[in-house]
Amino acid sequence: MMNYRYSRHYTGPVQAVIFDWAGTVFDFGSFAPTQVLIDALAGFGIEISMAEARIPMGLAKWDHIRALGDMPQVAARWHARYGRPMSDRDVDAVYEAFMPLQVSKVGDYSQLISGALVTVAALRGKGIKIGSCTGYPGVVMQALTPIAAERGYAPDCIVATDDLKAGGRPGPWMVLENVIQLGVSDVAACVKVDDTVPGIDEGLAAGMWTVGLSVSGNEVGLSAEEWVALPTAEQARKRTAAEKKLYLAGAHYVVDTIADLLPVISDIEARIARGERP
């Protein structure tokens, strides 16, 4: 009896690039989610720093609040104020306070990152579909999507963190929903672009190529103006630290911003043509 083993490697072009939103396409420094979380917790008498708020970035917002409450220093502040650990019911209460703030303020922070529209147009010119997913829930995306469209960005697919029963990052479900909606024939033909570790985890879990963004996103955490004002040596230090974290998460590539993406896509296509897999 003969044994047959079928093997196949995708060797075609990149079919889809799936972008995160804050810190990737919009909101240089990713301030909309973090600052609003700081404001929401302040309403409960709990002060957290911007650095603390950034630690769980990339997760769904309820999970982000839960992760903050589980951090020892934040847990100690909550216990000091309320005499007990933060419960899931407390997380619900913070989340309910957070959501209207996020909806009302998301547009204020969501300016396009320099080079985003040029990059997206160039990708579309190559026949590549533009997907997207986010740690924002659907109600926030209902507010943000028309603002983004007015500013020139309208991806072919948008998946919010609460759109799927399976959940959000770091699992693969949102990017796999992009694969389904966009009609991509092979996950190896997809590139996930994100500024956070959970976003890189998401792409890897789905079997995709992953590109981390070091400067525009959560890991550096500065506005574009603050970044430009830094001395060159300090920029290098912050960039290196962010790159290291994203590479350690498994990113195949790390670049500064979305404006640096096109050469990476060309390199990925060359690797795919050689039979390489993510």
In which residue ranges of the chain is CATH 3.40.50.1000 found?
16-30+110-273
What is the structure's pLDDT at 32?
A: 87
Catalytic residue among 20, 194, 201, 260: 20
In which residue ranges of the chain is CATH 1.10.150.240 found?
33-109
What is the structure's pLDDT at 2?
A: 42
- Name the CATH topology of 16-30+110-273: Rossmann fold (3.40.50)
Per-position pLDDT tens, the chain of length 278: 444 344 478 999 999 999 999 999 999 999 988 898 999 999 999 999 989 998 888 888 899 999 999 999 999 999 999 999 999 999 999 999 999 988 988 888 889 999 999 999 999 999 999 999 999 999 999 999 999 999 999 999 999 999 999 988 999 999 999 999 999 999 999 999 999 999 999 999 999 999 999 999 999 999 999 999 999 999 999 999 999 999 999 999 999 999 999 999 999 999 999 999 99
Residues 6+ apart with CB under 8 A from 166: 173
Residue with tokens 């985890």: 201
Cα(7)–Cα(96) distance, integer angstroms: 50
Neighbours of 151 (CB within 10 A): 16
What's the pTM? 0.89
Active site residue 244: no
**33-109 is classed in which CATH architecture?**
Orthogonal Bundle (1.10)
Which pair of structure tokens corresponds to residue 95?
């989340």
Reduce the DSSP state of residue 15 to 3 states and report it: coil
Residue 112 near residue 257 (C-beta atoms within 8 A): no
Cα(48)–Cα(33) distance, integer angstroms: 13
Active site residue 27: no
Cα(126)–Cα(131) distance, integer angstroms: 15
What is the structure's pLDDT at 8?
A: 72
Nearest alpha carbon to residue 151 among 123, 111, 124: 111
Catalytic residue among 61, 129, 192, 238: 61
